Structure formats: structure tokens, C-alpha cells
Structure 1
Amino acid sequence: MHTTETFKDLLTDKLTRNLGKNIEEATDKDLYYAIASITQEEINENWLSTRRRYDEKNERQMYYISMEFLIGRLMESNLLNCGLLDICSETLRELGRDPENVYQQEADAGLGNGGLGRLAACFLDSIASLQFAGHGSGIRYRYGLFEQRIIHGNQVELPDYWLKEEYPWETRNAEEALSIHFGGEIHMHKRVDGSLEVTHKEADEVHAVPYDVPVVGYNNQVVNTLRLWSAELPAETAEILAESESKYYHHLDHMHSIEQISGFLYPDDSNYEGKELRLKQQYFLVSATIQNIIRDFKRRGKSSLKKLHEKIAIQINDTHPSLAVPELMRLLMDTEGFSWDEAWEITTKTIAYTNHTTLSEALEKWPVGMMESLLPRIFMIINEINERFCLGIYYDRPEMRDLIPEVAVIADDQVHMARLAIVGSFSVNGVAKLHTEILKKREMKPFYELYPKKFNNKTNGITHRRWLLQVNPKLSEVITDAIGSQWIAQPLKLNGLMRYSNDAPFLEKISDVKQHNKKILAQLIKERTGITVNEYSIFDVQIKRLHEYKRQLLNIFHVIYLYNEMKENPKLDLTPRTFIFAAKAAPGYHMAKEIIKLIHHVASVVNNDRTIGDKLKVIFLENYNVSLAEKIIPAAELSEQISTAGKEASGTGNMKMMMNGAMTVGTMDGANIEIFDLVGKENIFIFGLNSDQVHHHNELGDYNANAIYHTDDRVKKILDQINGGEFGSQEIEFKDIFYHILYHNDPYYVLKDFDSYIDTHEVIERNYRDQKTWQKMSVANIAYSGKFSSDRTIHEYAADIWKLKQIR
């Protein structure tokens, strides 16, 4: 065990050896790299022993393939899981340094965008902390999604070059590089024994070079691996091109096209080249990963490849890695010599698929011509899968023949990736109870009828170690003082807090912690925006990707409504409210960008109105990422989870804010329903249409947004204000939003749910004024949040899908 003295000695030694500096001379950046080096040494020993233990035990392992891993900063997480966070922070304070400033030297890893990537990161944490043999596989993007700047209310995207400085947590393993091939021609020859020999000629070769990042289990000496693949030009190709001066520019162009594969997270796909690059990225990831899985399996040499599915589970996170199905088939047949039937049996017993959306536009499709040109052998295999699948329905399920166009993997000159994933996997899971039921009954109903045993639910979760223990140490301390520390290993034990729901001193401690966190956030808001907010106002928070179905628009309409009420009645008795937004809009998503602009222009009017003062403030914090979320969530009092019912698969922000004592205001959508079931209607604020009602209106087409506009004076005034430039100017009007709502019939039911939303916020206002009741509600939310730990989710995956044993 380290003391502050021994840790100080280690720091001194690292700074002297690596930089020739003493502690007094060291910058915060120097200290960060020195601490990272100390931590990495602690990790490496366990990393090696974990790999050896997995090899010796030869138990089943799982590989989690995802286009995103939103891991955030790893310094504090790694220190925490190694048992070094408190001693490191204390040492820095003794040295007169602010630990926060040192830890903030790390850039947020640009490996993800939103909930999909953050979920993957939480899963990896839980897998290691629960001592399961499970690893992540992704792409080492040099640039993240983008760095968001707001200029005159407009989102501007700048490159997010998160790797411009050394990333201390990664290890490059160039000797384990693998070859990936694109384009070219396929030639097939029948061997003497009747089997087919497949050769791929004139293809472009790319090297996939692995960079390994340790995934550290909490206090248990387990270190799993997140393997990130970087696309690079093969050395021999570079030499050949470099030899000829005439080929120099071709070489540069070729090198650039290869490096683009791992260049940007989600390149712009509004044109053919962008779409093709996305497809390249997806194949690059799955080919490298599956080649790597087979190589490791053969290296262990304890089983025949016929038993691959007995030792390996592959989980594909959403539709992006669906090419894992044909790629595993290709390797088993073309490289390992299996017949189609043998390869299909192994593949369909190895791959499992998680669906994350009910939005049809998010279920990927690729043009047949593009797939055939870029991945000729893969397309041949997909085509064969489709032929056999459709013939199977035709002959075995004649009652479903009419549905073949709805389920065919290739239809309308498109390759449907979700269909490919369902057909080629042994498990299809949704990520919340409602989401799974919608998949089974509506979105994927024909597949459910074909494969009822494949479908199952695994409600998402979050790692409570990061989202409570790490980001809210004062609350964690209050919890541990009350119920002991067992909740850290067994989060369901948080329900022991319910014994204190009427304990006045305990409720006061909870209130003091929230106020402390609000003060910290208020300081950050002042630093970043120059705006002073009332620390005793309600901190009303909506932080998530900007999308119409998430309905940030409904939230800002509520702000406008309150502002109008206060202007009409200056003596209105209203609890001060600070509305906090943070969100990125996809670069090509015009309506989302318009909503960001509207939020800023409303904020400009409201925040500068002296007659309103500090009773109402609107804050938009730019460049939302994990590190910013870690500051906002502990301070949140109201968690806005207001998606159109039936559109949000699960949500995990709702779980994070609940775990930190915020109350949810939300629709009966995604995991909100399961929060409602746990905490009861008295500890959550539910409003609006449910998913059945939304579906009913969609089916009948009987909703009329214009009717609400003409009969609800509040709605009419708000829409007329944004259309008439009241929140902007003659040059800045929001006619696109106005016309989208009224002339596209309000597709996300913002106006329909407006009245219910306003009424619910009035209930929230009354509850907040009774602080004892509010604190009891807060404690109930914290107490029941243990159910939403990703530890529970991973236990369910491990038992029901992956069939993993804990390797202690």
C-alpha cells in the first residue's frame, strides 16, 4: 500500500528519469504523464497475468465489437480501480497542486459520439470489474466527431484532434498487424476434392495495426483489453511506390485514402465517397477483429475451429459491425476450408446482435453496387445468405411468402444490415423492455415470428463506479457512512438508503452535497459563459445528442412560455430556474442546428432582461463530452428525458442523473418506464402520450398540429414569436422550425405534449418548494438506482447470451 510519502518518491523518480525535472519545476502536464506512467506500471503486471490466466483456464471469452467507445478520460478511472485515486489526490494537494488541474491535462478520447459509445465503455468497465473474460474492439480514430464551437448562436465544427499529444494508455503492437483487402477481383477454382479455392486478385491492401488500451477492473487485479485498430499503408507497398518518382503523388494519394479509414469518427456520408468510406471503416473493423479472434484461438491451440462457438462469443453493438457475419463465413470457408453448412453453423452460434434503435433511418443500408465493388467476396457471401434465407421462407414458411420483400437481406437494390445481423446471429436483444417489445411487435415483427427464441431484452446500465463513486465523491461518502461500503461491489445494496428517507440529518447531508455540486457547476458556467446563475435555483438539465425526437424543442418552448408569463406578470411567484443544455448536432442535420440556434437566441433575450434578473437563466455549454457530463450530472436536480414515446431505445443519461439524486421528468419511453416501475409514480414526473398512443395517431393519421396552434393561445404566441424574429432579428428568424411544426404536422408531437408538459412542470414547482419532500424523492431515486448499474446488465448478458464464467 502506498502512502503519500512513497507516492511522492515515485513521482520524483519519474520526473527525474523521464524529464530531468524536480517536482517544483514540473508543470501540471508533466505531473499528469508521470502519474500515468506510475499507474501504467501497476496495470501492466496485472494485464500480463490476466492474459496468462485466460490462456490457462481456456474458458469462453467474449469480444464486443463497436464503432464507438466513449471512454472519456482514463486517469481518474484507472487510479480509482487500482486503489490509488485518494492517495494520488492527497499527494498532489500536499505538493500544493490542484488534482483537478492535473487530471484535466488528459484529452477526452475521440472514440465515440453518444449513448452507444458510452454504453460500450460502461460495459467494458463492468466486464473487467466482474472478472469476465471480455474485450472491446474498435477503431483508433485520429479525430473524434468534432469540437463544437458556438459563434453567434450557430454551431461550428472544428477538428477534434485528440491524439495531438502522446496518449499514455495505449500500446502499439505493430508485430500483430493484419491485412485487409478492398476491391479487386474474385477467382474461384474447383479443387480435386470438389471444394472451392477462392483467390482475391488486384485488391488494395491495408494494414490494421492494433493499439491496446487496458480496461482495469475495480480493485481485483483484472485487466482486460480494448483493442483499437489503426489503418496504415503496408511497408512493402510504401517502398515500391517510393522507389518511383513518377509514382510519388500516387503514393501520397493512396496513403491518404488508407489513413482516412481510421481518420474520422463518422465521416460525412452525404455523398458517395463519404458513404464508401463509412463502409470501408466497418469492414476494416470487423475483418481485423475476426482475423484476430481466429489467430488467438489457434494460438491457444486447445480446440478445433469447429468448436469456435464453444469458446468464443462475438457481440456486435448495433448494425455497424453486421459485416462480422459474412466475414466470419469468408474466413471459415476460404481460409480454413470449412463447407458452407459447417461455416454457417459456427457463425450463427458465435455472433449475437444488439439493436439500439426503432428509427428506420438509423438501420443501415448499403447500395448493392457499392458493396459489390468494394467488397466483392463479402457481397457474394451476403447474396448467398439472402438466397438461402428467402428460399427457406418460401418452402418452409409458405404463409410468410408475401413478407419476403420485408425481410430479405438484399431488397430494393440495398443490402439491409440489421436483417443480415438478425439472420446471421443466435441472439437479438433490445436495450429496454419497451424497446424490445416494439422490436418484436412492430419494427421486426416478421423476424420475431421466424425466430421467437432469438429475441430477448437486456436493459442498459451505467457503471456506478464512474458515475457515482468517481464523479460524486461527497455523495459517495455520505452513502458509505450511512450503509457501509458494500454498495460499491453490490450496487443493489443502495436500496438500504430507504431506511433513511425520513431521517432529517441524513436528508440535510444529501441536500448539502447537492448544493456543493451546484456551486461547482455555477463556477464552471461563469468561467465558460460569463453568466452568473442563481445557485439556489432549480438546475433543470437536458444533456444529450441534439435530435428532434429527443425534443430539446419542447424544453425551449417551455422556457419561452415561462418568460412570457413573467413578462406579463412581473410579480409572478416562481421558483428561480436555471435551464442547462449541452448537445452536439450532426454536421448535416439542419433542423438540429436550427434548434441549437434557437436555444442561444432565447438565452440571449432571457439572460439579458434585467426585469427577469436571476429568476430565469438559459445556459448552453458547448462541446459536450464525457468530462463535461461528469461536472453537470452531480449538480442536476431535474433530469429532462422527454423523447417522443417509442423513439428512445433506452437512454442512460436518465440513469446517471437518477443515481446522483435528480428527479426525472419524462415520457413513458425507453428506460424511463423501468425507472417509474422502481421508484413509483410519487418519485418521478411523467407526462405526455405513451408509445401506443403515438403509434395509434401515426396509424390513423388523425393528429392535427394546426388545430392546436389555433386553439392554444400559449402555443400560438410561442410559434408566432419564433417566426416573427422576436428571439433574433429581421435577419435571424426561425421560419424553418415554424413551418416544420405546422406544415409537416409536428412529426414528434411537440405541440400535442406541450399542455401536459407545462402542467407537470407546475407540479414539479410545488414539490420543489417542499424541500423535505424533494429530498425524500431524491433519496428514493439514489436508493433504487442500483438496478441500473451496468454490473446487472453484464451479469444478464454473461448468463443468457455469452455463457461466460467469472475467472477469479
Structure 2
Amino acid sequence: MTAFRDAYGVTNPKDVQELERALVNRLIYSIGKDPVDTQPRDWFYALAHVVRDLLTVKWMESMRNYYLQDAKRVYYLSMEFLIGRTLDHALLNMGCYDEFKQALEDVGLRLEEIAEYEEEAALGNGGLGRLAACFLDSLATLRLPGFGYGIRYDYGMFSQSIQGGWQIEHPDNWLRYGNPWEFARPDVLYRVQFCGRVVERRDGDGRVRYDWVDTEDVMAMAYDIPIPGFGDGSVNNLRLWAAKASRDFDLRYFNEGNYIKAVEQKTQSENLSKVLYPDDTTQMGRELRLRQEYFFVRASLQDILYHFSADHEDFDALPEEVAIQLNDTHPCIAIPELLRILVDEHDLPWEKAFDLTVRTFAYTNHTLLPEALETWPVWLFERLLPRHLQIIYEINRRFLDDVARRLPGDPELIRRVSLIDEGDGKRVRMAHLAIVGSHKVNGVAKLHSELMKSTIFRDFARIFPDRFINITNGITPRRWLYQANRPLAALITEAIGPGWVADLERLSELAPLTEDGEFRRRFRAVKRANKERLANLLRARLNIDVDPDSLFDVQIKRIHEYKRQLLNILQVITRYNRLRDHPSAPCVPRTVILGGKAAPGYRMAKLIIKLINDVAAVVNGDPQLAGRLKVVFVPDYNVSRAMELIPAVELSEQISTAGTEASGTSNMKMTLNGALTIGTLDGANIEIREQVGEDNIFIFGLTADQLDDLRRRGYRPWDYYHGNTELKRALDMIASGYFSPDQPDRFKPLVDSLLAGGDRYAVLADYAAYVECQDAVDRLYGDPDAWTRKAILNVARAGRFSSDRSIREYAELVWNIGPRP
């Protein structure tokens, strides 16, 4: 490795003068710009290349180290990786942030301003992608040989603007200036087939074999992004696949002068990796989605097996050398694909191939909502992936035969667990496929895992009692405290030393400081400074003034009915009514901040965004309130926005209907940054309560069991409407057009969903308890010392929610791997 270091210009990243020289060299030789005639973006790309060079040296050392130690490798397959910006994260993880900051200042630049020119890699929608990014950080920090595989979408999660209160989607062309962190690998190219037909034949021994022929082909090309661990950690790899045409153009059409027709196939092929989450309200969008899933799975498995086969002549050792984690059902087509490779391409007997497959794969479930469990029409599978459908049918036949032998006389059980839903149009149940084809199935929070076994997968838990486990999600403290909230990180380090960054359980050493008046004062000062910073950003971007002395009450997450932003806004309307009815009564000023994106085809979620903005317009424009209540919707919520918001949060809204949120990670991030949680006993809120203590969290509402009982007895939303005057008044205001005088019936679908539509997510049932709990929040906030004590305890007891802990549990319980020295 000395040769690598000698070949590289920066031998000491702590030497500021050497960094200055490297920056100028990169500006000239990589960016091609004269230092006397540059734009800030040019300096960002020069800086990124210098940092990437440093990462690359350690990256190669890590990869060589894994190879020399013959380390078992973990491959994390995910359709989403919401990694956000890389520059600051890499500098902090490498421990040279201050040196680079000084080097830039010496040439007249500010690192904070240069970093703003980085485009965010928004290759994900929400929690699924953010979790994947946290796990990659922890794998590298813990020196575990873990690699991510996904898709290099040309256009990531859409950019959101608010026009007239409505969400407007814009393409997120994050690659418009190129991605300085990636390495294009044109030599790493794999063929991916679609459609065609299956030909049955017999080989020389008389065994039946299957050939998949006459396929439509596309090529998958690799792009590698180094993922740095913290301190002495490794640098691991995220490999993303881009679609390339199997041939550039049809020469026959080109020679005829029909240039559009000549490149038609190339254009169609490369559309495959153009956009994250194509609109699945259309048949074309659904087909593209399935193509994307198979595309990246097929390329990833070829790559995994290529590296495995370099040192192994057969597949007997595959489960001992390779672990593949399926992040939700999107990549679980990998199960029949691996079977196809082993059986069709390498002539393994079915029984052996299936055993190897099950021992290699593990599946993480992320939803309890039956309608959110992925299924695909059999006819679409048959057209796009005919051989895989045959394999799925064979898996199902053998599985159901085994179930019938072990648990005879229960035809309904057979119907429920079948991989094929024979109902209204035959469909492939991908979650069932993932469970049958994996050796471990984990939920992502204690309640989620229990409900998974007692509700949606009850039958499978009976059939495979040892297969289901819980591994509660976690977040990386490097991104979500050390980087996002540097003032608080500095205060913590001063109090207990720097060890907490790599060992979050060390935060428990803060607990005695709750009784230290000076520490409480400084803790409050940090929170106040973070609130001032956010207030300045809101003023600059949205032209909204908010009071940093008000309580910052924040709900930031994907807009969805089960996450109950609607319950939040009903409480806001009630608070508004009380303030107007009693203008001279004492109150705690409050700034209610919401943010999140609605799926483009999700009409109700987009209507909720409009309601939030219409309520905000009325509340913020009412002179009677005199700054006692403000409502703000923050557009284009993403990782960067989250890093601005979360350090300033004082009240964390985690109010999903009990039994619907798998885990949540925003709850963990806000707790880690000193916010108190108001929430239901749902997802990881339960474990947060266990850690921080019942006196340091605001819990309200029906539990999952109570809600089930209510529904069994017959839930009648009208009873709650008529039985609570404040609730009735708030709903009547929405329904009558108080907040939408230009279109009085605008929000009729929302009100109807609650009153006439059965209120599926129990908004009305939990309303009174929620309002009462918010009153308790006000009372506590009126005692700053008491609030601060609880906030410090929330930080001190957040250690369990590190993604390092999650990854250690995966390593021990699922993957059977350990750190490489």
C-alpha cells in the first residue's frame, strides 16, 4: 500500500499547506480551471476530488484487507439509498474537517458555503433509504465487510415546491453537474434479460433442463461510491447500476437516415434507470418498476457470484462466504434468480440449490399494512420473467406440500400462505416469497416484530417458529448528531470526552449532569442557538418570521394518512380557536413545523398538504394571535433539510396510529438531539419510552390491542364527532370552507374519510387524548429547568438507537460475521 500513498499527492491530510496545494492542483488538472477565474462550484469539485483521493487510498486498503483475510461478505440489496450529501460527512469521519476548513479559508473561501454546491443524492423516498444509508455508515465504522447494491437513478426523489398551497413535483436532476464521488466502471458490465420464452429440453443424462431464450437484453454498468467509516473504520463500497443499451444503435436504420429509429432501442433500454419510483398508477409505470427490481437484482447477483467464484470451484461454501440482506420486498426476486442461476446455469439439483439459497438470504420487513405488501400480477411476471414464474410455482408447490404434511387438514391455511394469491386476478405475493426463501426474517422494532408474528405473518410464524426475530432500527450518530448538531456534539464531548461518537452508549455518562445547573444552562443555550439558526433559514427561504423563544413543535416525515398529519392539524385548529376565544389568557407560544412529500399519485396526501398550508395562511395572518401560534410547512424535505431542522426541535411529533408504523427513525434522531417525544405506543416509540422513562416522554392514544378491540366492537367516528365540541368545531370549520373560502368543499374528501369513510386510522378516537397530552406539554414547557432536565435525559438514554447496535445484532444473529482488524 506504500505505492498507493506515494502515488497520491496528499501524504498528510493534517498538513494545511499540503491540502492547499492539492486543491489548486485538482482545480487545474481535474476541473480544468484557472485559479484566477473560477466559480464556487469549481472549488467544490476540486475539494471533492481531493477528499475522494484520500478516501480511495483507504478504500483500496480495506478491500485488499478483506480479500487477504478471506472475510465473509454481507451484501445489502436495497432499491433506496438516501445518503444525502457526502462532503462534510466524509471530512468528519476522516477527522480532517478543521484542516480542510483552514485550507479553504487560506485561499479566501468558506467551507460552509462551498459545501452548499453539492447536489444531494436523493436516491430514496424516506425511512427505507435513510436506514440503508445509516447501515452503510455503521458497517464501515465497525470494519465489517459490507457492501451496498442499488440503482443509479438519473432522477432521484422529486423536488417539491409549494404553489398556492399545493405540492408541485419537479424532476430532481442530481447528476446535472456530475457526481464527483463516484467511479464509473465501464468494464463491470452485466447482461440482464427480459421477456422471451422458456424452452424445455433433456440433457445427455435424460434430466429436464430449461433454457430462457429470445430475450430482450439490457446491460447494467457499475458505478462505485466509497463509504467511509468513522475514525479507524474501513471504507466500504456502494455499487449502483445504470442501464445501458446492449447495442448503441441499429446501423440499418442509421444508414437509411432514420436517426430517431436508429437509437430507439438505446433510449428505451436506458430509461430503465432514469427515475426513482415511476408512477405506479399506470400499467407502464408498474411494469417499469418490476423491470427495475429485476434489473438491479440480476446485475448484483452476477457481481456477487463473480467475486465468490474467483476463489471457489463450487457453491458449497456460498452461505459461509456470502450473506445477502433484502431490504424490504423490492429485491426479493433475487431468491428465484439465485435458484435459476444455480439450477439452470450450473446444473445443481433443486434440493441443494434451494438449501443454499435459503441459507444465503435474509429478509427485513418494513410494513404491517396488508395493502403495502408488494404483489405482482401473474400475467406480468409471465411476460417479463417467464422462467422466474416457473421457479416461483415450483417453490410454492414444494412449500405447500410440506405444509400439508406437517399441518394436515387445513385447506384455508394452504390458501393463506400460498405464494400465489388466487383471488381477484392471480398475483405473486412477494413477502411470502421472501419469507419462504430466507433463513431469517426480522422486524424493525419490538412491537412491529410482535405484530408481524401475530397478524400479517401469523401462519408463517407457526410454520417457521425459529425464522422470525427482531432487530430494532438505529441511526448513525456520526450523521445525525456529530455532523448535524456540532454545537451539541461539542458540548457533549467537553463533558464526557469524544468516545461517544463511535460508542453511543457512552451518552449515559450525561445523566448525572441533569442536576448541574451550569450544564443545563449551556444545553439550553445550544438549543436556543439552533432555533435561531433555523428561524433565520425560514425567514430567508420562506419569508416567515418565527419566534425562537416559542416551543418548536415538529413533524417531519412522508405525508401519509397513517402518519396522521391530519390529527396534528386538527390540534392546531383547536389551539387557534382557544387563542381566539381567550385572547388575554396566558399561553405557551408555539411554532408548529411540518415537512414531507406526498407520492405524486396519492390524492389524499396531497390534499393534506394543501390543508396544512391553508390553515397556516389563516393562522399566520390573524393579527389577534400576536405571534402566539405559527404554522410552517417546509418544502422539499430531504436529508439536508432534516439536518437543519432536527437540532432545533423541542417537541417531536410521532403520532401514527398504533400498529401501523414499523419503527420510525425521525423519532430516534430528534431524541438524540434533545427533543421530547409526543407520540402513540407505536413503532420504536415503545422502546424510546423504555429507555428514557415514562416521565420523560408524552404518550397518548389507543394501543394496538385497544384499537383492535374498538374495531371488533364497532368503531363509530360519528360518536366522537358529536361527543367532543372542540373536535366538532374544528371539523366543521374544515368542512365549511373556513380555511378555503375560494373553494368551500375543497377538503370534503378528508372530512368524509373521517366521518363517512370509517376513519381507518382512528384520528377521531385519539383526538381528545392528543389534545390533553398537548396541554401537558404546555405546562412542562412553562418550567424551563424541568424541561431541560428531561431533554438531557433523552440524549443520555438514546444510546440504544445507534445503527452500530443494529448492525452488531445483524452480524451476530443473521450474518455470522465479525469485524476485520
Q: Does the CA contact (< 8 Å) of 2:368 and 2:662 recur in 1?
A: yes
SS of alignment partner, residue 381 of structure 1 = helix
1:286 is aligned to 297
1:800 is aligned to 813
1:686 is aligned to 699
1:262 is aligned to 273
Residues 467-486 of structure 1 mapped to structure 2, 5 A cutoff? 467-486=480-499
Tell whether 2:519 aligns with 1:506.
yes
TM-aligned CA deviation for residue 253 of structure 1: 3.4
Which one of 48, 72, 95 corresponds to residue 83 of structure 1? Answer: 95
1:464 is aligned to 477
1:354 is aligned to 364
Which one of 141, 147, 156 corresponds to residue 159 of structure 2? Answer: 147
Q: Does the CA contact (< 8 Å) of 2:301 and 2:338 recur in 1?
A: yes
Which one of 693, 716, 719 corresponds to residue 704 of structure 1? Answer: 716
Residues 197-216 of structure 1 mapped to structure 2, 5 A cutoff? 197-216=209-228
Q: Does the CA contact (< 8 Å) of 2:339 and 2:357 recur in 1?
A: yes
1:233 is aligned to 245
Tell whether 2:111 aligns with 1:99.
yes
Distance in structure 1 (CA, Å) of the matches to 2:391 and 2:500: 49
1:789 is aligned to 802
2:635 is aligned to 622
Tell whether 2:259 aligns with 1:245.
no
Which one of 360, 383, 399 corresponds to residue 389 of structure 1? Answer: 399
1:333 is aligned to 343
- CA change 1:308–1:251 in 2 (3 A) is farther
Distance in structure 1 (CA, Å) of the matches to 2:409 and 2:752: 45
SS of alignment partner, residue 30 of structure 2 = helix
2:67 is aligned to 55
Distance in structure 1 (CA, Å) of the matches to 2:380 and 2:33: 56
1:687 aligned partner, one-letter code: F
Distance in structure 2 (CA, Å) of the matches to 1:639 and 1:588: 28
Which one of 442, 449, 472 corresponds to residue 462 of structure 2? Answer: 449
Distance in structure 1 (CA, Å) of the matches to 2:711 and 2:253: 60
TM-score, length of structure 2 as denominator length: 0.96
* Range with bigger deviation, 79-88 or 402-411: 79-88
Distance in structure 1 (CA, Å) of the matches to 2:624 and 2:538: 22
TM-aligned CA deviation for residue 789 of structure 1: 0.4
TM-aligned CA deviation for residue 335 of structure 1: 1.2
* Range with bigger deviation, 428-437 or 197-206: 197-206
Tell whether 2:570 aligns with 1:570.
no
Tell whether 2:328 aligns with 1:318.
yes
- CA change 1:20–1:353 in 2 (3 A) is closer
Q: Does the CA contact (< 8 Å) of 2:249 and 2:264 recur in 1?
A: no
Tell whether 2:309 aligns with 1:298.
yes
1:756 is aligned to 769
- CA change 1:182–1:251 in 2 (3 A) is farther
Q: Does the CA contact (< 8 Å) of 1:110 and 1:142 recur in 2?
A: no
2:793 is aligned to 780
Q: Does the CA contact (< 8 Å) of 1:543 and 1:582 recur in 2?
A: yes
Distance in structure 2 (CA, Å) of the matches to 1:89 and 1:58: 39
- CA change 1:219–1:315 in 2 (3 A) is same
2:306 aligned partner, one-letter code: R
- CA change 1:763–1:94 in 2 (3 A) is farther
Gaps of 5+ in 2: 1-11
What is the percentage of aligned positions where both structures have the same residue? Answer: 44
- CA change 1:57–1:196 in 2 (3 A) is farther
1:724 is aligned to 736
1:454 aligned partner, one-letter code: R
1:126 aligned partner, one-letter code: S
SS of alignment partner, residue 566 of structure 2 = helix
TM-aligned CA deviation for residue 515 of structure 1: 0.6
2:613 is aligned to 600
1:644 is aligned to 657
2:765 aligned partner, one-letter code: K
- Tell me the number of residue pairs that the alignment of Structure 1 and Structure 2 aligns: 805
Q: Does the CA contact (< 8 Å) of 2:140 and 2:233 recur in 1?
A: no
CA offset digits 1:43-66 (Å, max 9, x no partner):
111111211111111121110000
Distance in structure 1 (CA, Å) of the matches to 2:287 and 2:379: 11
1:416 is aligned to 429
CA offset digits 1:626-682 (Å, max 9, x no partner):
000000000100000000000000000000000000000000000000000011111
* Range with bigger deviation, 371-380 or 3-12: 3-12
Distance in structure 1 (CA, Å) of the matches to 2:382 and 2:33: 58
2:26 is aligned to 14
Distance in structure 1 (CA, Å) of the matches to 2:106 and 2:581: 55
Q: Does the CA contact (< 8 Å) of 1:393 and 1:400 recur in 2?
A: no
SS of alignment partner, residue 238 of structure 1 = coil
* Range with bigger deviation, 91-100 or 588-597: 91-100
Tell whether 2:223 aligns with 1:175.
no
1:188 is aligned to 200
Q: Does the CA contact (< 8 Å) of 1:78 and 1:216 recur in 2?
A: yes
TM-aligned CA deviation for residue 303 of structure 1: 5.7
TM-aligned CA deviation for residue 397 of structure 1: 1.8
TM-aligned CA deviation for residue 493 of structure 1: 0.5
TM-aligned CA deviation for residue 14 of structure 1: 2.1
CA offset digits 1:453-479 (Å, max 9, x no partner):
000000000000110001111111100
Distance in structure 2 (CA, Å) of the matches to 1:291 and 1:158: 35
Which one of 159, 164, 170 corresponds to residue 158 of structure 1? Answer: 170
CA offset digits 1:303-354 (Å, max 9, x no partner):
6312111100000000111101100000111111111111101001000000
Which one of 418, 423, 443 corresponds to residue 430 of structure 1? Answer: 443
Distance in structure 2 (CA, Å) of the matches to 1:623 and 1:401: 49
1:31 aligned partner, one-letter code: W
TM-aligned CA deviation for residue 10 of structure 1: 2.0
CA offset digits 1:2-30 (Å, max 9, x no partner):
23333222222222333455656432211
2:532 is aligned to 519
TM-aligned CA deviation for residue 805 of structure 1: 1.6
SS of alignment partner, residue 110 of structure 1 = strand
Distance in structure 2 (CA, Å) of the matches to 1:81 and 1:654: 24
Distance in structure 2 (CA, Å) of the matches to 1:357 and 1:282: 18
1:667 aligned partner, one-letter code: T
Which one of 217, 223, 235 corresponds to residue 235 of structure 2? Answer: 223
2:385 is aligned to 375
- CA change 1:133–1:741 in 2 (3 A) is same
Distance in structure 1 (CA, Å) of the matches to 2:252 and 2:321: 42
Distance in structure 2 (CA, Å) of the matches to 1:244 and 1:487: 66
Distance in structure 2 (CA, Å) of the matches to 1:697 and 1:519: 44
1:259 aligned partner, one-letter code: E
Q: Does the CA contact (< 8 Å) of 1:130 and 1:806 recur in 2?
A: yes
* Range with bigger deviation, 394-403 or 89-98: 89-98
2:541 aligned partner, one-letter code: R
* Range with bigger deviation, 54-63 or 320-329: 54-63
Query: C-alpha root-mean-square deviation of aligned residues, in Å?
Result: 1.4
Q: Does the CA contact (< 8 Å) of 2:573 and 2:730 recur in 1?
A: yes
TM-aligned CA deviation for residue 241 of structure 1: 5.8
2:78 is aligned to 66
SS of alignment partner, residue 455 of structure 2 = helix
1:762 aligned partner, one-letter code: D
TM-aligned CA deviation for residue 519 of structure 1: 0.6
Distance in structure 2 (CA, Å) of the matches to 1:281 and 1:18: 33
